[in-house]
Structure 1
Amino acid sequence: MLYTNIKKKYDIIFIIPHMGQGGSQRVASNLINHWVKKEKTVLLIEFFPNKPLCHEVNDSVDRIFILNNSYINLRKYKKTIGNIIIKLLNVLKRAMPFTLVRLKQKNNIFIKNEGKGYIKDILIQKNTKFVIYLTHLLIDVLKIDITSVVKIYYVMSFLFIPGDFRRLRRLRSVFKSVESKCVISFLGATNIKTIMSSYGLNRRIIISERNDPNIQKLSDPWDFLRKKFYRLADVVTSNSKGSIETLKDFVPYDKLLYIPNPLTFNICSIEKKKRFKIILCVGRLVKQKSIDTLLKAFSLMYKSIPSWHILVVGEGPLKNELINLSYRLKIFKRTHFMGYRKDIYRFYKISSIFVMPSLHEGMPNSLMEAMCHEIPAIVSNSSPGPLELIKDQYNGYIFQKMNIFDLRDKIYNLVKNENLRLEMGNRHREFINDFSLNTISTHWESLIQKDI
């Protein structure tokens, strides 16, 4: 959708990098579609149009993409270079030994290092108006010392200037042009960009951290900026209690709120199906999911558990590598890569064991969905989210992260004991009965309706 076609007023502006594969995207889709049914107007802003649409939203939702290149122009900025330089000099008067030098090239600003140290000269191109705003935000609002500010600009100059500066300016332009009291953002770097672009515009900013920041680090400079900018949001939500504990270190406690992921169906309504000898793993094929740990553990015992198979549901850059690994481990005939599937529920209904070997997780949708289908689960001890749902030896097993021998033993115990599988699966309802979409959406709606 072109920028000129969007409305002037929305109940909610929702920002997420893309609506491709991922648990956060599924939560976003469920919430947005639920709000539309309640007759709320939603503007969905994304950054990456080339990602496949894996989680659909209602046709009444307006979608726009804020790109970091030049072929979508949201607004042209008038540049008055003389005034910009004067304002920057005033803002950075404490910057010595750093000084600003105007170059001959139009619309360029040069921060020159006149002192000792490893910070090099920085060229900030054609983004001067936004740099003034951002510099004020960093120094006067967040009270970051000038040396750190210059370090941030130095990293930015290599990572995303002028690309992401252009995206930030365009995002701020949308916020100025569209009336909406509430802006909701999902995922780390996107949360920071949302705060950067909306600060001071009288919007209620609600950001959602989807992983434990203590475990999932962002790339520079976003990890540093997360600790500085998150406290400027009106509300910071997270889907796990462990993540809330981490966020307490740099976000005021009265701004933090635990909101778990919503489930789109009731555990009691799941139709009972015949279970097959299937070990199910659901997730993107990336390093974080540590699917190779499952394959290696299975290779240690596959001869002793004939007729059992592994199903891996998901897509990702490591697919070929994992397929090759299954060949090297001689388990390729009993390991099946199903790709990304919208009919994921059919696999839950027929599987007997669910395994999540991830290196870190927030509150994983796939685990909650497996629990809804009363499948006993085995999870790693890598992050607090899954451990809030699985009690070791009660409704599943917890194994040591990346320990293929520990995982092998836990899988083998469940494979050999069908009654234990049934007992553990039946106990799941104690942990997830309060996670219905209607219940969780009520928490979000109470945030949206609050005054600024």
Structure 2
Amino acid sequence: MRIRYVLLHAYGMGGTIRTVVNQANAMAAIGHDVEIVSVVRRREEPQFALDPAVSLVPLVDQREGVRPDGVGRKVWRRLRGKIVPHGEFAASYFTERVEKAVIDYVSSVDEGILVTTRPALNLIAARRGRPSVVRVAQEHMNLAAYPETIRQEIARHYDAFDAVAVLTGTDREEYQRLLPRTPIVRIPNAVETVGREPSRQRNPVIVAAGRLVAQKGFDLLIPAFAQVVRRHPEWRLRIFGTGPKTAELRGLISEHGLSAQVSLKGRTSRLPEELARASVYALSSRFEGLPMVMIEAMSHALPVAAFDCPTGPGDVLTHEVDGLLVPQRDVDALAAALDRLVSDRELRLRLGGAAAVTARGYAPEAVMPMWEELFLDLTGGKPLGDGYRAVSRGVTSPDS
């Protein structure tokens, strides 16, 4: 099969990029003809390793900066820029030059499978892709996280897809209600779980990781941890990631008098080692798609305390079995859950052991066959009726 993945910035970092690179590598490893198209290129080399068989094709080279367009952005939006609507989280990338490059590329593809990976790209594929191409939209964020402008465009145009792939069972129900005539398939992101060193539950360390943005809720986690550390002053919170909220979070740490107990560690290439040395993982997000780093932490037998935000944590965790779920944005409840884990090593060991078992369901060997089976069904003309589940080599989708 010829499979083309379109990413906004395949040379960057981030969960969606890592996920799609892993998919592309897996499809190439079993003999398919795979290409990744990067809408923009802002680095010399990709940050995630590509299989040598995977072609990487950039559309707009921005390594020397973003060149001005022939017309202003507002004029472009008025004249033609209706495909990428206002409210798309990455709308600022889609200048006249960039949007035109994607439209031209998508309209030129006349065979094989085209996989697009965010609403802006999905909408262009839906409106400009050829019917001769099998078109698959990937959604890496829950529907409710999008503004109304995006949800309206999804409802209006996603019927053009042969399938829309989402990450969780909750996502599948939400998208199916909005798109009753469109096949919605749940395939989670794959997380490498083999050979992960389990936590020994000996270090008084809580770990959290993600972009330092409002979505991740670290501004809620820090005051929750402030309650914990009053009773357990030996414990530490380490937050890994970079982003625009760095200065604000440093101020919050100082405001709570936690400079010795909370550290912003920045980006690390050694997150597996950091997770193995920790004893608890905290997820404080306001919303999620599928929290990959949380699942990675679970593969290290780390118990999780998480907001039951839309969506993801509650689709992965079972409360009191492999983690603790608390009402979203409830700082006191998150503090109480963390306090329970910090206070009870036996509880941590029990929940962490169950978490490691749960994480195995997201291993590449469980997930990647679902993608191949979906692609084979689509190219073979198999109808994807209600309740379709990708099944391959004895593996079924986790929501089957």
State TM-score, norm by structure 1: 0.73
Answer yes or no: is 1:287 the counterpart of 2:217: no
Amino acid at match of 1:366: V
> What SS is found at the alignment partner of 1:433?
helix
Tell me how far 1:429 sits from its aligned partner. Answer: 4.2
Can you list the C-alpha shifts for 1:80-126, whole angstroms capped at 9, x where unaligned? xxxxxxxxxxxxxxxxxxxxxxxxxxx99xxxxxxxxxxxx99955x
Which stretch has the larger CA shift, 246-255 or 168-177? Answer: 168-177
State TM-score, norm by structure 2: 0.82
Match of 2:263 in 1: 336
Matches within 5 A, 1:41-440: 41-50=33-42, 53-67=46-60, 125=79, 164=95, 166-178=97-109, 180-198=111-129, 200-214=130-144, 216-218=145-147, 221-252=149-180, 255-266=183-194, 269-275=195-201, 276-440=203-367
User: Distance between the aligned counterparts of 1:271 and 1:357, measured in 2?
Assistant: 24
User: Structure 1 residues 293, 445: closer, same or farther in 2, change over 3 A?
Assistant: same
| Percent identity (aligned) | 19
Which stretch has the larger CA shift, 395-404 or 410-419? Answer: 395-404
Q: Which is greater in Rg?
A: 1
Tell me how far 1:372 sits from its aligned partner. Answer: 0.9
User: Distance between the aligned counterparts of 1:272 and 1:431, measured in 2?
Assistant: 14
Tell me how far 1:322 sits from its aligned partner. Answer: 0.8
Tell me how far 1:390 sits from its aligned partner. Answer: 1.4
- Where do 4+ consecutive residues of structure 1 move more than 6 Å? 159-162
> What SS is found at the alignment partner of 1:405?
helix
Tell me how far 1:391 sits from its aligned partner. Answer: 1.6
Amino acid at match of 2:189: N
Amino acid at match of 2:249: L
User: Distance between the aligned counterparts of 1:68 and 1:431, measured in 2?
Assistant: 41
> What SS is found at the alignment partner of 2:260?
helix
> What SS is found at the alignment partner of 1:48?
strand
Which stretch has the larger CA shift, 362-371 or 49-58? Answer: 49-58
User: Distance between the aligned counterparts of 1:306 and 1:239, measured in 2?
Assistant: 38
Structure 1: runs of 5 or more not aligned: 1-9, 73-106, 109-120, 135-151
Amino acid at match of 1:171: V
Match of 1:40 in 2: 32
User: Distance between the aligned counterparts of 1:301 and 1:427, measured in 2?
Assistant: 24
Residue pair 1:278, 1:308 contacting (<8 A) in 2 also: yes
User: Distance between the aligned counterparts of 1:160 and 1:433, measured in 2?
Assistant: 36
Amino acid at match of 1:37: A
Residue pair 2:199, 2:302 contacting (<8 A) in 1 also: no
Residue pair 1:263, 1:437 contacting (<8 A) in 2 also: yes
Root mean square deviation, CA, Å: 3.1
Structure 2: runs of 5 or more not aligned: 382-400
Match of 1:27 among 19, 38, 42: 19
State the number of aligned residues.
Answer: 366
> What SS is found at the alignment partner of 1:330?
coil
User: Structure 1 residues 399, 43: closer, same or farther in 2, change over 3 A?
Assistant: same
